[in-house]
């Protein structure tokens, strides 16, 4: 075996569709470079499966740059794998050693039904975003960048909340499958900025209502969501969402 390569055993969840009970299948992978990304390692495995006339493993991916959040995998009991503030596509095989066994599963949440293998339907997140509605803006000539002053503290907090990529790791990590970290990040982003003020209260009410409709659980207050978030979204946003929601309810909107 060449230096900086390894042989591994993968235990991967295989499931034909949402109605199939599914189960684990074991695959040996050999001569894997330590510098490969986790998804590249899966590409190698799938190429081998195709050569053998077998069905390749279905998994979500798009940008492979840690931006889109599509690469949702539960690896050895942790969403996105062992590295902190990291997505699967940015996880490299040097995180493992020769002879390791790696268990890979899809997100486990009723609101994220499995479509096939490691691919889940995260349309619930899209519907929550849609429930948030629009932002009222004045059309016409562009305004100067400094025409609407924003306090630096609020601008920084809004920017941090906007970093959420909607991958669903927070839901996967929560024992109640709560989506509050995701929803709170989206609500906080706009609630902190003057551009989001006109629909601020209705946005909080509508997004929380849609979240509940989708069947996500209640917050556990354990912080597991923040711990696995690839963008380090703070649970302080959940406290802000609670204030926004209560305030909107008291205003009668």
Cα separation values, 198 from 62, 182, 247, 249, Å? 34, 22, 14, 16
Percent of the chain with pLDDT over 90: 87
Cα separation values, 18 from 99, 117, 213, Å? 33, 9, 20
* pLDDT in the model for residue 146: 74
pLDDT in tens, 72-84: 999 999 999 999 9
Class for the domain spanning 123-250? mainly alpha
Burial of 126 (0-12, 13-18, 19+ CB in 10 A): exposed
Computed over every residue of the chain, the mean pLDDT equals 94
Give which of 69, 53, 73, 151 is closest to 118, Cα–Cα.
73
pTM: 0.92
Parse the chain into domains and list their residue ranges. 5-105, 123-250
Contact yes or no for 239/185 (Cβ under 8 A): no
Query: Mean of the pLDDT values across residues 96-102?
Result: 97
What is the spatial distance between Cα 37 and Cα 59, in angstroms, rounded to a whole number? Answer: 14
Per CATH, the homologous superfamily of domain 5-105 is Beta-grasp domain (3.10.20.30)
Count the residues in the chain. 253
């Amino acid at each position: 075996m060449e230096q900086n390569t390894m042989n591994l055993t993968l235990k991967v969840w295989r499931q034909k569709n949402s109605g199939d009970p599914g189960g684990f299948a074991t695959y040996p992978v050999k001569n894997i470079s330590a510098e490969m990304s986790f998804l590249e390692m899966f590409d190698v495995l799938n190429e081998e499966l195709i050569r053998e006339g077998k069905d390749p493993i279905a998994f979500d991916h798009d940008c492979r740059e840690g931006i889109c959040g599509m690469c949702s995998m539960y690896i050895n009991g942790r969403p996105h794998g062992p590295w902190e503030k990291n997505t699967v596509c940015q996880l490299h095989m040097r995180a493992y050693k020769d002879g390791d066994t790696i268990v890979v599963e899809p997100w486990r949440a009723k609101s994220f039904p499995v479509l096939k293998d490691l691919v889940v339907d995260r349309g619930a997140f899209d519907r929550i975003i849609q429930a948030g509605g629009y932002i009222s803006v004045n059309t016409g000539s562009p305004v100067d960048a400094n025409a609407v002053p924003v306090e630096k503290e609020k601008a920084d907090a809004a920017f941090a909340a906007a970093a959420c990529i909607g991958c669903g790791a927070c839901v996967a990590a929560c024992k109640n499958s709560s989506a509050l970290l995701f929803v709170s990040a989206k609500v906080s982003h706009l609630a902190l900025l003057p551009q989001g003020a006109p629909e601020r209260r209705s946005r909080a009410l509508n997004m929380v209502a849609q979240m509940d409709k989708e069947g996500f659980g209640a917050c556990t207050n354990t912080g597991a969501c923040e711990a696995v978030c690839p963008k380090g979204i703070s649970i302080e946003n959940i406290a802000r969402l609670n204030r926004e929601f209560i305030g909107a309810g008291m205003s009668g909107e």
